[in-house]
Chain A
Amino acid sequence: MSYLTINNHQSVPVASIPELKYDHFLDQNTTFLNDNSARHCVTYFGYMAGQEIKLICCIADDENHNILISSSTVTKEACLNSFSAKNLSFEKFEREIHENFGIAYSDHPWLKPVRYSENRADKSKLIPDYPFFNITSEELHEVGVGPVHAGIIEPGHFRFVCNGEQILHLEIQLGYQHRGVEQLFLTRKKLLQRTILAESIAGDSAIGHATAFACLWESLSGISLSRDVLFSRTLAQEIERIAIHTGDLSAICTDIAYQLGSSVFGRLRTPIINFFQEWCGNRLAKSLIRVGFNPYPFTKELADRLNEVLDAFEPDFIEINSELSRLPSSLSRFERTGTMKYDQLLSIGTVGLSARMNALPRDIRSSHPYGLYPEFNHEPFLKHHGDVYSRVQIRREEVKQSIAYIRQLLASLPEPGIPDQRELHPKNNSFGISLTEGWRGEICHAAVTDNNGELLIYKVKDPSFHNWLALALAVRNNEISDFPVCNKSFDLSYCGHDL
């Protein structure tokens, strides 16, 4: 075994990461995961190092609260044995490496394009020609949905294979939202540009992604932060969780045609995001997170205001939830719909809320705590049915949990820091990794710098990267009319996946 053990939000010299022969690298990383549910791959990527490709694999160990890192160097022309043949959770990472560099895999089960990125190796492959799984039976039919969907929602293509009304198979094809985010991190040199880019990876997770970026940059630059910065980031992350979970509950009610729930949850989200605007001038908290300092100090007045908002929010939120879980018409749509088993979730490396719906306790707040999370001794809320109702209940309980954490934070405000902007220079030849727990789940940003401290690669992984496959598997054997509520109960990100 040859690997480096580091903590979340730590950076190390690239040279200190052990470099293994590929076969050894493969064995080691797949062995890490086999029969150990507390470990999963948080990111696995390649970048050009001279004429060769350096692969870096990062395995999070939830039990020991650290990250195991190893690397290997291969050539573009290589034809490699795949990790995926031994452990399915690597499938998308290897598809991405194949798409970006043209590396061939001899035994990958499913080597399809991930997002038709601008810098892909084979530009003759175009998004309209995606190789869908085909059927020949005359008794089955296909249903194609998208890329443009019926609601106000991002684009993606869903191809169902159905037997009558029953879904046998769903293939989800993404890439329409690809804006070239990772490349822009390299070409936009100003820190503010990069911060705004991080906020725009997924605008519904502005806090999650911007915090991941800021923590990574601070760790690469070797600076430490005052308590008020950590306070604001932790607080903002929990407010974001409340806002989006509540909005999702509204959308789930819309999808089962429960108008009262849809309206009440919808309006309950408004004061929460309006609070963000009162704090930083933006309803989705863009501009709140900045690298190295806190541009909008959290004052006593804001604390009083937030207490007021939550005091008004909580009883109404509990009331509508208790009504929702008493209605036979909602339960009949929620229960045993879109079910995922524990073993399935584990095998494909699901993270976040989508993992917790069936007893897989993946939550960076407890496994790799950052900010002020160590003070909460956070325990993730778990469900054991893996259906739409589990995902509804997790949202309900996590909102309550977040309210409790916020009250705990508000009980002792930190001394407001002085917004102090410093020039930050990442250390040269360094590798850094940053994990945060957004409302969807684990967000991972990783970076490698060159001789001058300039970025060689900036790697972003939204939880949706793992979880889209979970949605595709969850809807099997369900009625196709249940697809919308299944989709909304996961609420995965298209732009976070496509980058």
Chain B
Amino acid sequence: MLRTLKILYHQGKQFIPDPTRAKVPGIFRGRPEISGQAVDVAALADLCPTRAINTDPVSIDLGRCTFCGECSRLYPGKINFTADYRLSVNDRNSLVIYEGTTAPVALNSDLIRKEIRNCFKGSLKLRQVSAGGDNSTELELNACGNVNFDMGRYGIEFVASPRHADGIVITGPVTKNMAEPLQITYDATPSPKIIVLAGTDAISGGIFDGSPALDRQFIEKNHIDLYVPGNPVHPLTFINGLVDLLGIKH
């Protein structure tokens, strides 16, 4: 008992006091800003491994971006990834960041289904389905619940069964072999329910986009309530996305 107390004393307070205002250390690659600098835009677009960069005007699609940082490393005056980790949106089109835009990305409140805030504001239980995920976003989703990030403070938790869940969080590009188990898990979740796509692989297929081993019909035919970009998703991006979706005051 005394040894346990000693360990607790040595650990001190580990939680992040306010995850909606926390600062991330070092060179985090969050929301990009694209300047008006004149560069060879064709070469810039060609550089991107997942065709996330478009031209005329120059834009980056955060739903395709693997956050490899190569564009900003080679064109530092043109593209700058800021430390802003608030990247989650509920409208797929808002993931495209255009030249000259420096405004934060935000959820479109008109698109939030009414039942989401009515039913889940105080408590949201989620079932996670990895459908070809590479275990990086999965690790980060686990980290959301650790003593540092403590997502449970908002009443948001991952649960062990779809029967106990209010929605599913999908990671990975959705493989053919996982298409059916994903559908079964979704069907087993009682309504009303939400779908969250966590990570670039889930949103667009990422580097796996176009692989014949994928089957993305589930993503195409269902309404997606939240897109959380990242490779992997940062816990703060995920937590803030859900806090905003649920309309939790901070």
Contacts and interface: CB of A to CB of B under 8 A. Distances in A.
B92 interface: no
A491 to B, nearest CB: 10
A55 B207 CA distance: 29
Interface in A186-216: 188, 190, 192-193, 196-197, 200-204, 206
A493 B135 contact: yes
Interface string B1-35: 00110111011001000000000111111000000
A148 B232 contact: no
Contact of A286 (B3, B180, B231, B234): B231
A202 to B, nearest CB: 6
B212 A204 contact: no
The 3 A-B pairs at the shortest CB distance, nearest first, are namely A203-B136, A278-B26, A180-B213
B138 A283 contact: no
B134 A201 contact: yes
Contacts of A150: 160-161
Interface residues of B, number: 66
Given A264-B11, A286-B231, A147 B181 contact: yes
A117 B133 contact: no
Which of the listed residues B68, B181, B213 has the most CB atoms from chain A within 10 Å of its own CB?
B213
A303 to B, nearest CB: 14
Contacts of B10: 315-316, 319
Given A192-B68, A196-B66, A316-B10, A281 B135 contact: no
A65 interface: no
Contacts of B148: 266-267, 270
Contact of A152 (B73, B128, B214): B128
Q: Which of B8, B130, B131, B158 has the most CB of A within 10 A?
A: B130
Contacts of B185: 148
A286 B70 CA distance: 12
Interface in A148-180: 148, 150-155, 175-180
21 contacts: A127-B177, A128-B180, A147-B181, A155-B129, A155-B178, A176-B131, A179-B173, A180-B212, A184-B208, A188-B49, A192-B47, A266-B146, A266-B147, A267-B146, A281-B27, A281-B28, A281-B29, A282-B67, A286-B66, A319-B10, A493-B135
Interface of A: 116-118, 127-128, 147-148, 150-155, 175-180, 183-184, 188, 190, 192-193, 196-197, 200-204, 206, 247, 260, 263-264, 266-267, 270, 274-275, 277-284, 286-287, 295, 315-316, 319-320, 323, 326, 419, 493-495, 498
A273 to B, nearest CB: 8
Contacts of A495: 132-135
Indicate the member of A117, A274, A279, A283 with the most B CB atoms within 10 Å.
A283
B229 interface: no
A263 B178 contact: no
Contacts of A315: 10
B172 interface: yes
A251 to B, nearest CB: 8
Contacts of A190: 49
B173 to A, nearest CB: 6
Nearest to A499: B213
B178 A177 contact: yes
Interface of B: 3-4, 6-8, 10-11, 14, 24-29, 47, 49-50, 66-70, 73, 81, 128-143, 146-148, 158, 160-161, 172-173, 175-178, 180-181, 185, 201, 206-208, 211-214, 231-232, 234
A155 B181 contact: yes
B69 A281 contact: yes
A275 to B, nearest CB: 8
Contacts of A247: 139
B27 A278 contact: yes
Given A116-B177, A180-B213, A192-B49, A200 B134 contact: yes
Given A152-B141, A180-B208, A323 B4 contact: yes
A203 B137 CA distance: 8
Contacts of A192: 47, 49, 68, 70
A176 B214 CA distance: 11
A286 B138 CA distance: 15
Contacts of A270: 143, 146, 148
Contacts of B173: 179
A268 B114 CA distance: 40
Contacts of A188: 49, 207
